[in-house]
Amino acid sequence: MEIFLGLPLGWAVLALFGVVMLRANATYWLGRGLAAGARRSRLEKRLDNNVMHRAGHLINKFGPFAVTLCFLTVGLQTAVIVSSGLARMPQRRFLPAVVLGGLIWAVVYATIGLAALAAWFTLMLESPVTAAALAVAVVVAIVWVIWRSRRRQVPDTAPADDGSAGGAGDDAGGGRLAADPAAPPRSGPRTRP
């Protein structure tokens, strides 16, 4: 992608837009061809995986919006576009979505993306150790963010505190404390002391 670094911004955006339109439409038509061929072969089993199911879910739920927004993702773009072809999304819905998404991608990549790439190459030439340390820091930050987001999604398996004085030591049968089996059962609503 270094060939775009020397171009004026307008030409870089136009060139990147052309590249993304060719790639996205080729990927879409590849999906359409696979869908037609899969109905007559065993290829259908190979297309049945988690990434394709997630992408297909996005297509079925959000259609053109998923195609447009996939240009802002990393790793999901090809799966969403191929799924559009596999799902045989009509061209009248696909083309406007891919044009808008491709334009957004081209502008972002021509401004922020190419500048970051140029800065990375400069840093690699001046200080490879610093560049490696920065790469490790970025990877650690990404892993930490993913870990935190997944940790928040996992339901808490600890018993919920219902506000009673007994706390987590209460059992479900009659409200007796586990430490004092001779305690009489509670009656009425539980209130916090």
In tens, the pLDDT along 113-156 reads: 767 767 777 887 888 888 888 888 888 988 888 888 888 876 65
Strand partners, 170: 177
CA distances from 147 to 111, 140, 141, 144, 151 (A): 30, 10, 10, 5, 6
Please state the φ and ψ torsions of residue 177, each to the nearest 5 degrees.
-75, 140
Domain ranges in the chain are 2-114
* Packed helices 77-86 and 9-38: angle between N→C axes, nearest 10 degrees: 50
| Residue 67 and residue 125 in contact, taking contact as beta carbons nearer than 8 Å | no
CA distance 4 to 78: 22
What is the tens place of the pLDDT at every residue in 62-115?
Answer: 788 889 988 888 778 898 899 889 888 888 889 999 999 999 999 988 888 767
pTM: 0.55
